[in-house]
Amino acid sequence: MSVESQKETLGFQTEVKQLLHLMIHSLYSNKEIFLRELISNASDAVDKLRFEALSKPELLEGGADLKIRVSFDKDAGTVTLEDNGIGMSREDVIAHLGTIAKSGTADFMKNLTGDQKKDSHLIGQFGVGFYSAFIVADKVDVFSRRAGLPAAEGVHWSSKGEGDFEVATVEKAERGTRIVLHLKKDETEFADGWRLRNVIKKYSDHIALPIELPKQVEVAEGEEAPAEEWETVNRASALWTRPRTEIKDEEYQEFYKHIGHDFENPLAWSHNKVEGKLEYNSLLYVPARAPFDLYQREAPRGLKLYVQRVFIMDQAESFLPLYLRFIKGVVDSNDLSLNVSREILQKDPIIDSMKSALTKRVLDMLEKLAKNEPEQYKSFWKNFGQVLKEGPAEDFANKEKIAGLLRFASTGDDSGEQSVSLADYLARAKEGQDKIYFLTGESYAQVKNSPHLEVFRKKGIEVLLLTDRIDEWLMSYLSDFDGKGFVDVARGDLDLGKLDSDEDKKAQEEVAKDKEGLVERLKAALGDSVSEVRVSHRLTDSPAILAIGEQDLGLQMRQILEASGQKVPDSKPIFEFNPSHPLIEKLDHEQSEDRFADFSHILFDQAALAAGDSLKDPAAYVRRLNKLLVELSV
C-alpha cells in the first residue's frame, strides 16, 4: 500500500459521539453482536454491487466471485473483516462513518435515560451497524475503494472511537472494504478461529453469501506451512428459499435482526412460497418495538426486494400499504424483470396482485397473534395500534378485517387500557342492542367521567372510549362492524332504539312538551352560541351537556385542523338540559331575565368544559360566576 495523502482529521457528529459512548458502556453483556453487524453491512455492500453490476458489468472488475472474509492475528490482537462489494469513496466514508443520517435520530437521543439497561433496548430500536465495532476495539481502521474508481482513489479511515477520526487517500488494488479491529486488551478472545466460527454460525448462518475463515491446517514440526486456504463457514443460501420445515425459530429470528437491523426478536413472522399464476417467496416480520420514525409517513419503509434471488432494492414500498409500514421482510419474485425500478413497480399490475396478497398475509398473521398470544398482541397494539388505525381509510377492501384487529378502552373495563375488541364488545351487548356506542375525547379521565355516559351507565350499556388524536377521523371511515352500525353518543339526537321501552319514549315526549316554554327562554338567552336547545334523554346526574350536530366536526378533528393551520368550518353545539336536575328546576322558576341569562351561560360554559373544550370568553364566565356567588352569599 502506498503512502497516504490528503490526510485530514474530522470531528464526529454529536449524535455519533453519544451513540459510541452508549454502546461501549451499555452493550457489554452481548459483545459478540459486533461481528453480526459488520457482516450484515458487508452483505448489504455485496448486494448493492450485484445490483449495480446488472447495468454496469464493468463494476465487477473481472471478479464476480462475491464473498466476505473474516481473519485474525492473535499476536497483533486484531480481527479483520473484508468484502469485495460496492465499496466507498472518500465522500461516502465521511458521510457514512462520521454521521448518522437516519430519521428519528433526534427523538432517539432525547429518549436516552442514562440507565444502561434501558438504553441498550433503545439502541436495539435504532440499530447501530458499523459503530458496534467499538464495543470490542479501541481502534478501528477502514480501507475502502468504490467499485469503478481507480486504485489510487482508495481511502483509509481511522478512529479510536472518541471525538474525531482521520481520513486519507491511499492506493487500494481491490474494490470493496476491509475493516481492521484492534481489540481491547480484555477482548482478545475474539482473535481466535473457533470463537469467530461459532459467532458466525450463531448470527450469520442465513447470509446468502459465502463467509470465509482461514482453514485451520495442522503443520508437523519442520514442515513448511501451506499457502493460506479459506473455507466457507455459513450455509450461504437464501433463508427464504428454504423449506419452512428445515428452518429453526432461531434462524428466523437472526435473519430478522439482519434485515431489520434490530437487537430484539420479532413478535411474529410469516414465511410463504406462492406458486401458480404468480411465483414468489415472502418472509414477513412484525417487530417487537416501534422505530423512532414510525409516525413520519414520508420516512423510508418497505420490504427488501429480490428478483430470482438477486437483490434489487431496500425499502420497496409498493408491496404493502402505508398503514403497514412497520412490517419488515423480504419478497423474492420470479415474475419481475431484473432491471425493475421504483417507477416501474408503481405501475406494474403484478405488484398490485402481490400487494393484495401480502397485505392479507400480514392481517392474517396479526389475527393469529391476537387469537393465540393475547399478551404478545397487547404489546403489538401498544407499539403499532395508532398506525393500524390509519387502515380503514386507506384500505377499503380489508376494512372489516382491520376493524377486527382494533382495540379500545371501554366502560366495561376499568383498567383504562385499549384492550377491548369489537368482537368482545358485541359478545357483551345487551339483548336488543343493534348499535356499537362510542365516545371520543382528549383523555381517558375526561371521557370516562363524561355526562354523555350517564344514561348508558343507568341502563348498563357498554360504551367504547376513544382518546387517540386519530380516533374521530378513524370513526368517520368505520360505518359498521359485523352488521352493527357505530353511534357517537355525543352526536345528534340520541336514539337507543329497542333499549328504550315504550314507556320511556312516551315519558320523554311528555317531558319535552311540558318544557317547551323553558326551551324557548334558553334559546333566547343563549342566542347564536347554540344551534338548538332541547330536553336531554342522556342525562341522569348532570344539569346540561353540549351535543354535536350529525354533520359537524367533533372537538378532536377541529383541534387537528387548527393545529395544521387549516380553516375550521363554523358550527354551533346543541344545548341539552336535564329537566329533573335541581339547577334546571331553579332556572325554570327564575323571574329575572338577566339572572336567567347569566345562569344559562354559566351552564353552557360548564357543559363546554365537561366536553373537554376551552371557553371562548373565560373572563365573562368568571364574571358571571362571581356575580352569582355574591348574590347567593348575601
Query: Per-residue pLDDT tens for 70-124?
Result: 999 999 999 999 999 999 999 999 988 876 645 445 555 566 555 555 555 555 4
Task: Give the total residue count for the chain.
Answer: 634
- The CA-atom distances, in angstroms, between 213 and each of 134, 197, 220, 258, 269 are 22, 8, 21, 20, 31
> Does 28 score more than 60 pLDDT?
no
Q: With CA atoms as reference, report the closest residue to 204 among 31, 68, 96, 45.
A: 68
Average pLDDT, the chain: 86
> Does 431 score more than 80 pLDDT?
yes
3-state secondary structure 453-486: HHHHHHHCCCCEEECCCCHHHHHCCCCEECCEEE
d(CA 587, CA 213): 90
* 5-218+227-236 CATH pick, 3.40.50.20, 3.40.50.1220, 2.60.40.10, 3.30.565.10: 3.30.565.10
Task: Label residue 207 by pLDDT band (50, 70, 90).
Answer: confident
> Looking at residue 366, what is its pLDDT?
97
b/e 240-258 (16+ beta carbons within 10 angstroms → b): bebeeeebeeeebbbbbbb
> Looking at residue 113, what is its pLDDT?
58
pLDDT digits (tens, 9 = 90+) for 114-167: 555 555 555 544 555 788 898 899 999 999 999 999 999 999 999 998 888 899
- The CA-atom distances, in angstroms, between 176 and each of 6, 24, 148, 259 are 20, 27, 10, 21
> Looking at residue 123, what is its pLDDT?
53
d(CA 358, CA 296): 23
Task: Label residue 218 by pLDDT band (50, 70, 90).
Answer: low
Task: Label residue 2 by pLDDT band (50, 70, 90).
Answer: low
Contact partners, residue 384, CB within 8 Å, separation at least 6: 286, 290, 294, 326
Calculate mean pLDDT across residues 549-562.
Answer: 70
Task: Label residue 355 by pLDDT band (50, 70, 90).
Answer: very high
> Does 1 score more than 50 pLDDT?
no
Calculate mean pLDDT across residues 211-232.
Answer: 78
Task: Label residue 339 by pLDDT band (50, 70, 90).
Answer: low
Would you state the cell numbers that stand for residue 235, as one nine-digit string?
A: 450455509
- CA dihedral sign, ordered 489, 495, 499, 504: positive
Q: What DSSP line would sit under 562-613, residue for residue? A: HHTTPPPPP--PEEEE-TTSHHHHHHHT---HHHHHHHHHHHHHHHHHHTTP
Would you state the cell numbers that stand for residue 344, as one nine-digit string?
A: 416501474
d(CA 112, CA 19): 10
Task: Label residue 415 by pLDDT band (50, 70, 90).
Answer: confident
d(CA 442, CA 540): 23
Task: Label residue 364 by pLDDT band (50, 70, 90).
Answer: very high
Which phi and psi angles does 436 have, rounded to 5°?
A: -105, 115
Contact present, 93 and 167 (Cβ < 8 Å) = yes
> Does 634 score more than 60 pLDDT?
no
Fold of 240-382: Ribosomal Protein S5; domain 2 (3.30.230)
Calculate mean pLDDT across residues 379-403.
Answer: 95
Class of domain 514-633: mainly alpha
Calculate mean pLDDT across residues 334-357.
Answer: 81
Q: 563 versus 502: which is more confidently predicted?
A: 502
How far is Cα of residue 208 from the mean position of the Cα atoms in its chain?
Answer: 28
| Measured CA angle at 191 (ends 185, 194), to 5 deg | 140
Residue type for position 54: L
Q: With CA atoms as reference, report the closest residue to 604 among 541, 530, 512, 549.
A: 530
Looking at residue 338, the DSSP 8-state letter turns out to be T
Q: 632 versus 271: which is more confidently predicted?
A: 271
Calculate mean pLDDT across residues 553-570.
Answer: 70
Class of domain 396-499: alpha beta
Calculate mean pLDDT across residues 414-424.
Answer: 91
Domain locations along the chain: 5-218+227-236, 240-382, 396-499, 514-633
> What is the greatest pairwise CA distance in the chain?
120
> Looking at residue 103, what is its pLDDT?
45
